[in-house]
Structure 1
Amino acid sequence: MTTENILKKINQLRSELEAHNYKYYVLSSPEISDFDFDMKLKELEKLEDEHPEFQDPNSPTQRVGSDINQEFSQVKHRYPMLSLSNSYSTGELQEFDARIRRTIGEAFDYVCELKFDGASISLLYENGQLVRAVTRGDGEKGDDVTSNARTIRSIPLTLKGDSYPETFEIRGEVLLPFQVFAELNKAREEAGEQLYANPRNTASGSLKMQNSAEVAKRKLDAYFYYVLGENLSEDGHYETIQQAGEWGFKVSAHTKKCRNIDEVIDYISYWDTARFDLPVATDGIVIKVNSRRLQNNLGFTAKSPRWAIAYKFTAEQVATKLESVSYQVGRTGAVTPVANLSPVLLAGTTVKRASLHNADIIEKLDLHFNDVVFVEKGGEIIPKIVGVDESARQPEAEKIQFIRQCPECDTELVRNEGEAAHYCPNETGCAPQIKGKIEHFISRKAMDIDGLGQETIDLLFSQGLIHNIADLYLLKAEQLTVLERMGEKSAERILKSLEQSKGIPFERVLFALGIRFVGETVAKKLANKLVDIDTIANASYEELIDIDEIGGRIAESIRQYFDKEENRRLVEALKAQGLQFKLHESSLEGRSTRLEGLSIVISGTFEKHSRDELKKMIEQHGGKNVGSISKSTSYLLGGSNVGPSKMQKVEKLGIPVISEDEFLAMIG
């Protein structure tokens, strides 16, 4: 292909992928399968890798993010991001309306918008291209999170059509949908980690993560509600937002233009209950004067616009009786207390249970049996007890004490210093832990065993056919076909999938073992650095924490796992069945120790390789990637546009700066 044809093909793929991305994430009406999308993306990645001269920061390939740490720089907002005045009653809204009418003296419309509960963000576009994304910060300046924003699929990198202004800003809210939030917390619970409190805080924290590749995994969403610029074609705020939807932005279909304050109050009344059916968190309604001309006439106070106000929903709270507290044991041994409540209607659903998280929460609430408790939905999703009606407490009520023994196997519970949860240490003899580890092992991101699920695992365990993950590979067709709801075809599918899983790469097998705190990313780091299971099993605490992104807690957990003889025997049994416990030969090609003991910071843009490629090269030759400059940094690998603050720090500490060519010469 000629250079011209290659560029034409690249632009065609970019255009197709952005169109499919818009249909999937904004319109929720995909036209092609995930597989077909991925194949087109891989084709584009290959072409861009082979022709770096055509790299574009707004290419669809950049949505996966980079795993190189970054330091956020502060950016001053062109237009201050002011907060809104809050109201909590219809009376306050009517006072707001009266003030507006006294000032304006002419007919006008309001616009009502759902007030999304997430992290505010402002995007700058020039000539239809995303240039910069900045958090709200203090309203005057915020953090530049452009690389993270590019990973959010509902943020367009290149706009549709040609009716948008040459330069403009658009503001919106970055959100974590309830379903994604629940999945994240489920994974953290399985890993024995503290649960996230609510979707809003988690979205905000995700947007500020240093590793954009990790941000991409969070599946953040974004809705937009305010366009700012000098050359907007419409006077109406509502009309401009509808235009923004045509440009490719995700805007709420529930935004409504209202003729008077009575219609505004009707809108609020409807959404006070209908909000519980939404897939994302909302905490109120924003009311704005529609005309930008009138907005300019009304102006601003020092803190907020005079032409807008927020109506905040009161969190729905109900009182009910605490009947008992039960305890659940997860696969890592973490014991979670659960409050069993007298059924009560809350936010459109009947609530019977609420998580108490840990012993500290029980102590803080000072819970007693048969207490009347107040329950809310935290972040509109998870029921939680927020208080106790002590006046209704019976004098003889017994205080709830966290249990001392495991509710499943009676083993004495332990609580590690600095951790909130209690644990059952009997990981090889406690049924929920054993079954939980097997369920994790067969899961899609681990060994991906087809035909096995929670019910089948329960059945196999209760029949004594499996006692650990290695026993799965000893199953025979005649053992399976006699089980309830298990025919020959089902048995054949399970056995075939188990056999195929022996080809699963080492890093996924390591993740599947279920070592506490060793998730997908950590498993990849360990596998790439230490190459095989024996090296990992015998690595010292000091050797482990020297690996990029492996901290003391993870290193200690790995050591504890392999210090147990039963876990070593389990690994040997899996080895005997033919599972992969060493990196594939293709991953080992070209490795050396040329950079052994060197810590290298990467900054700027490069001509021959992407930053991700350079990072892999550093690891491949025994070096360590670090995200920030310190006394222990060996080199700054600098491209063009290295941040001035980094250069000042490098000069101050006397750290050598090497170019891309010098680095490539170092590794031969």
Structure 2
Amino acid sequence: MNFNAKKKRIDDLIKLINYHNKRYYLEDKPEISDAEFDLILRELLELEEENPTLKDPNSPSQKVGGFISKNFQKFKHLEKMYSLENISNKNELEKFIIKIQKTIKDPSFILEPKFDGSSVSITYKDGIYNSAATRGDGSTGEDITANIKTIKNVPLKLLDNAPQGLIEIRGEVIFPLKEFASLNKKLEKSNQAFSNPRNAAAGSLRQLDTKITANRPLIFIPWGLGMSMNLNIETELELILKFKEWGFLILGEFIKADNINFIQEHFEAVLYKRAELDYEIDGLVIKLNNFNDQKILGFTSKYPKWAAAIKFPSMVAKTKVKQITYQIGRTGMITPVAELHEVTLGGVKVRRASLHNFDQIKLLNLNTNDEVLIERAGDVIPKVLKVSKKINSTKFKLPTKCPSCKSLLSKEGSYLFCKETNCIEVLKRKVAYLASKKCFNIVGLGESIVDNLVSSNIIKDIPDVFSLKKNKLLELEGFGEKLAENLILEINNKKTIPLAKFISSLGIRHVGENISNLLAKNFVNIDKISSAKENQIESVDGIGTEIAKSVVEYFSVNKNKEEIKTMLDSGIKISKDSLIEGDKFLGKSICITGKLKNYSREELSNIIVKQQGKVVSSVSKNTDILISGENSGSKLEKAKSLNIKVMNVNQFLNL
């Protein structure tokens, strides 16, 4: 690339980054993921480093990211609110530490979570809440005093030994994942859903109506100071203890570290635990622990020289689409899948990516042979973010027939369904789910054997599972006498099943474990469920119109009713375990966390449900009890901060 080409590329990147910064900070409507943005910014930084004479003083690399909305009053920070420099690998971490060691002898560091939310600054005067603002451009933000005041865990008066004078407490406003999913479900109906929890937090803070902010389950986590008067502390660790004393919530671990190997080990441990958290983090923050050492190093125009963000490895990569194939689910839903040229993401080899539904293909303008950007977040199936280049694309055509039985597909919203009751692929998925741990738990009846049995016409419908004959199994390749006998014995031993699991095994659309439990709890037996009216089902707390309609539709089909009758006639018994045994936990929301002794989560959940309690996956102000095992982590911390009753398994069982 010659000089002029490099200058043009730098100018183009600056314009592109400024555009996306505006979409991100000002409008809360990002068009690209964090990983994509980091790729663009990194390209700019590398070009500027290689060509210092081309560095523009107004480049985004020289400024704190952020914009100020015209909808709010401007607010001048007492002290500048800086961004953090990113560290993306071990070499960059080594450089960061070595650079500090040149000035500071035997530096001690603190490691803390990098919360993925919206950064704000809260000012207290003589210990009383005074004002609050967004980061903005670092010097000036937006006045969100009224909105921050509505966040339930923000103290309006600092507790023990509150400092006199002015103090700016910097921190992150985050949106818990469980509540984010719930909010987005409501907002999807009006096409106002947020793209991620961070944008939900930022959007909630920028509401002109404070009632909307107050109704959002926002959490404020302090991580630093701006202006501080009359505060006699020397280290970051002391500051964290002060935050706790003053009444702030502290989440995650704050660890002292003095060598790169320990830092790397802790980083990898947090990366491993990341998926268990009820809030998003996108890395660790490393800081010098001692405030005097921080003062010696000072700041650049954009970053503190004594702190940086160690970012989690990029989960974004480019590859090509080989073809678009289809998966058929147990409800007949057809899901498109992008078959990819192999690429490695976060150490995992990826050959396929979910496309979710057919509207997504249209939105992406995706075709075979396209070069695409894919993302893998946590342990979920990778997804296609965008088409990065068109290369001899073959235009995708929406299928009209089921790829298995060739019957006409039915379009419902963004989804396509095979409604043919005799579709072999749908039957395979139904039988595999019925045999899984979530239903009958038939050990030995895995997907490959199910495929073989259905393809060989030995299983022609669901009830056939419970009337399998040894001589038929022996006809299949790979089945010997012992294997056939063991499978039939296993099936016969699993013919007694709780009502909730029986309901789940039927393959009713929208009805999984949770809805099955609600139906079992409220209707007691299968006859009452099958004869229930739509309004009766919808009256159950936690069941909406769409689910109620789906249940009624299922039981209106004669084939489905006949299959249930045949299953019961073949010896299936719905156990008394499916019935409610009492009301000890009626109206109680109970969360289970950590490694449990003597009991599995499923066993404890069954005990709670039988006593009319509700099992929840995250801790919130509405949680009544947290059952805590070993290594409980963030849920235990949050429960303590919210004064929620915490007990071990034995204490819980003795209630």
- What's the TM-score once normalised by structure 1's chain length? 0.51
Q: Does 1:449 align with 2:442?
A: yes
Q: Secondary structure of the residue that 1:389 maps to in structure 2?
A: strand
2:425 pairs with 1:432: yes
CA contact (8 A) 2:581 2:611 kept: no
- Match runs of 1:217-232 below 5 Å: none
Q: Equivalent residue for 1:533?
A: 526
Match of 1:44 in 2: none
8 A Cα contact 1:86 1:311, kept in partner? no
Displacement of 1:432: 1.9
Residue equivalent to 1:409: 405
> Number of matched residues?
423
The answer for the alignment partner of 1:572 in structure 2 is 565
Q: 1:461 aligns with which of 440, 454, 475?
A: 454
Pairs within 5 Å for 1:84-483: 85-88=83-86, 107=105, 109-111=107-109, 113=111, 115=113, 142-143=151-152, 237=237, 256-258=257-259, 278=272, 280=274, 283-291=282-290, 308-312=307-311, 315=314, 317-379=316-378, 382-390=381-389, 392-394=390-392, 397-417=393-413, 420-426=414-420, 428-483=421-476
Contact 1:110 1:287 (C-alpha < 8 Å) held by counterparts:
no
Aligned residue for 1:515, secondary structure, equals coil
Asked if structure 1 preserves the Cα contact closer than 8 Å seen for 2:410 and 2:416, the reply is: yes
1:447 counterpart letter in structure 2: F
SS at match of 2:495: helix
Q: 1:88 to 1:438 in 2, by over 3 A?
A: same
Give the conservation status (yes or no) of the 8 Å contact 2:174–2:197. Answer: no
Alpha-carbon distance, 1:347 to partner: 3.4
Q: Is the 8 A contact 2:87 2:309 kept in 1?
A: no
Structure 1 letter corresponding to 2:402: C
* Unmatched 5+ stretches in structure 1: 1-81, 121-136, 146-169, 177-183, 185-195, 205-223, 242-248, 591-599, 604-611, 620-626, 629-668
For 1:460 and 1:507, how far apart are their aligned partners in 2?
26
Contact 1:327 1:338 (8 Å CA) reproduced? yes
Structure 1 counterpart SS, 2:372: strand
CA shift for structure 1 position 580: 2.9
Aligned to 1:484: 477
Check conservation: 1:517, 1:557, Cα contact below 8 A. yes
The question of whether the paired residues in 2 share the 8 Å contact of 1:470 and 1:570 is answered with yes
Change in CA separation of 1:578 and 1:297 when aligned onto 2, cut-off 3 Å = farther
Q: Report deviation, 1:279.
A: 5.8
Aligned partners of 1:376 and 1:385 also within 8 Å: yes
How far did residue 528 of structure 1 move?
2.6
User: Residues 518, 389 of structure 1: CA spacing in aligned structure 2 closer, same or farther, 3 A cutoff?
Assistant: closer
Q: Is the 8 A contact 1:447 1:504 kept in 2?
A: yes
* Cα distance in 2 between the residues matched to 1:382 and 1:585: 33
The amino acid across from 1:257 in the alignment is D
Aligned residue for 2:412, secondary structure, equals: coil
Contact map agreement 1:375 1:387 (CA 8 A) in 2: yes
Instruction: After TM superposition, give the deviation of residue 289 of structure 1 in Å.
Output: 1.0
Letter in 1 for 2:109: V
CA contact (8 A) 2:84 2:307 kept: no
- 476-485 vs 355-364, which moves further: 476-485
Contact 1:411 1:424 (8 Å CA) reproduced: yes
Write the distance in 2 (CA, Å) between the matches of 1:89 and 1:433: 48
Displacement of 1:439 after TM fit?
A: 1.1
Contact 2:110 2:237 in 1 (8 A): no
Between the aligned partners of 2:545 and 2:297, the Cα distance in structure 1 is 56
SS in 2 for 1:466: coil
> Is 1:493 aligned with 2:486?
yes
**Which structure carries more relative contact order (alpha carbon 8 Å, separation 6+)?**
1
Give the conservation status (yes or no) of the 8 Å contact 1:343–1:351. Answer: yes
Distance 2:109 2:418 in 1: 55
Conserved? CA contact 1:234–1:240, under 8 Å:
no
Alpha-carbon distance between aligned partners in 2 of 1:468 and 1:276, rounded to the nearest angstrom: 47
**Quick one: structure 1 residues 381 and 112, their matched pair in 2 at CA, closer, same or farther if it must change by over 3 Å?**
farther
Unaligned 5+ runs, structure 2: 1-79, 119-143, 155-170, 182-192, 202-220, 226-231, 242-250, 276-280, 590-606, 615-621, 624-655
